[in-house]
Amino acid sequence: MSTDQTTDLPPRLGLRRAGLDPAPEVTALRDARGTCPVTTLVGHRATLVAGFDEARTVHGDPAFGFEGLPLPPGGLDADEMARRRAGMLLALDPPDHTRLRRMLTGRFTVRAMKALEPRVVAIVDEALERMAAGGAPADLVADFALPVPSLVICELLGVPYADRDGFQERAELTLRSDLTVEQRTRVFGESREYMASLVARARREPGDDLLGMLVAEHGDRSAAEGGIDDAELVGLANLLLVAGHETTSNVIALGTYELLRDPDQMAAMRAALDDDAALSRAVEEMLRHVSPVSAGFPRVAGRDVEVGPHEVPAGTVVTASLCAANRDPALGEGLDHLDVRREPVPHVAFGYGIHHCLGAPLARIELRIAFAALLRRFPDLALAVDPDDVGFRHENLIHGLEALPVMWATPR
């Protein structure tokens, strides 16, 4: 595997995609059940695996964790890294992960998320109304895929209506793939600063939103006493913005792109709209095929551990290609192609093990509502450009489209 000649670092192969597909080198690595050196998004040198079983081992075996990961290059010290990790469930080990996740589990059950359905329906309908009023062509990413999940997160966090435009602007910036390190650091800092203001408001006047609930039920004790600190509340809020907004918005955009360039799949998707079970199967297939998170967060082996046919020594940093794992031929035939009629295939689009996405029930609800409403509102929705002219984000942790120009003639 070649390295970057200017830095002598291996490539960011785990984040590399070919359209919606894994990069060919990653597919070849999976099929050979091999490993290779890569560089992660934050600059760690790591070992990449790409098979389904290997991905589940890296995400599910307690031998792998986040404590002990080397500091990434860039000058961050241990105190600053600890501050950034506070509350970030996807980068915490037990017991902190266990403590925080237990606080949140009741708010993210299927029943609790279904209670949000009326607001999700209203948010989706309002976005479609604005898109229709603006006329064709429109950018499905900016006009629909981005604002819908962002506004749902606003509902969860209790973001005041007066702040929602600014919240959405920051949320949109987090998806930009052309930001410099300095710009991304600034956006991250502004987001943390705003989330801290929400936490301070929840401390003063706890509402019935997620932050208010956490403050009311657990905020009277420090983390050391089994409660929750302000830094953790800020981290959790930021995690919801990134994990709950970016992933869902990109599945909406990428999934619509796939449907628009495949008339057979579009017809099958439209046929599923009036059948809840068929629509749920279609959404599950979309999640598997799109795999918005290209590679899982890197973890470090706390002891020698077997990953597939490989013995991984203690101290090794490992990351798994989730998009390649979700198309592993060991799971079935034809998995490189979207088939919304397919019976559900096991996948790791939401991760696996104790870090399996807490918001998966909400994401599934949002996707079912969004796809159904979009396709009903625009019965002749079509791409406004050649499919080959649609631009994909480049080597991002969360894969997506820069824009998706669409057109229609007869909105309902």
Assess contact for 290 and 329: CB atoms under 8 A.
Answer: no
pLDDT tens digit string along 205-257? 888 888 999 999 998 898 888 899 999 999 888 888 777 778 899 999 999 99
One-letter amino acid of 382: A
Backbone angles phi, psi at 300, to 5 degrees: -115, 140
Domain count along the chain = 1
Q: In this structure, is residue 5 part of a structural domain? A: no
Q: Residue 6: its pLDDT value, please?
A: 39
| 164: enclosing H helix or E strand | helix 164-174
Q: In this structure, is residue 229 part of a structural domain? A: yes
Buried b (16+ CB within 10 A) or exposed e, 329-367: eeeeeebeebbbebeebebbbbbbeebebbbbbbbbbbb
Summarize the confidence of residues 2-14 as an average pLDDT. 63
Q: In this structure, is residue 3 part of a structural domain? A: no
Distance CA 187, CA 156 (A): 21
Q: In this structure, is residue 412 part of a structural domain? A: no
Q: In this structure, is residue 4 part of a structural domain? A: no
| Confidence bin at 379 (pLDDT 50/70/90) | very high
Summarize the confidence of residues 120-139 as an average pLDDT. 96
pLDDT tens digit string along 159-188? 887 887 777 677 667 655 566 667 767 777
Distance CA 351, CA 60 (A): 9
Mean pLDDT for all residues in the chain? 89
Assess contact for 356 and 379: CB atoms under 8 A.
Answer: no
Q: What domain range is 350 assigned to?
A: 13-407
Q: Of 148-162, 355-369, 379-393, where does mean pLDDT reach its minimum?
A: 148-162
Distance CA 288, CA 332 (A): 13
Burial tier of 53 (Cβ tally within 10 Å: 0-12, 13-18, 19+): middle
Distance CA 358, CA 369 (A): 19
Distance CA 231, CA 92 (A): 14
Q: In this structure, is residue 212 part of a structural domain? A: yes
Output the DSSP codes for 260-290: HT-HHHHHHHHHHTT-HHHHHHHHHHHHHHH
pTM: 0.91
Cis peptide before 137 (omega within 30 of 0): yes
Residue 174 belongs to domain with CATH number: 1.10.630.10
Three-class SS of residue 226? Answer: coil
DSSP state of 39: E
Measuring CA to CA, how many Å separate 301 from each of 29, 55, 58, 194, 317?
21, 14, 9, 35, 7
Say which residue the tokens 């870090």 belong to: 355
Q: In this structure, is residue 28 part of a structural domain? A: yes
Q: In this structure, is residue 315 part of a structural domain? A: yes
Q: Residue 388: its pLDDT value, please?
A: 94
How far does the chain reach from its first CA to its final CA, in angstroms? Answer: 53
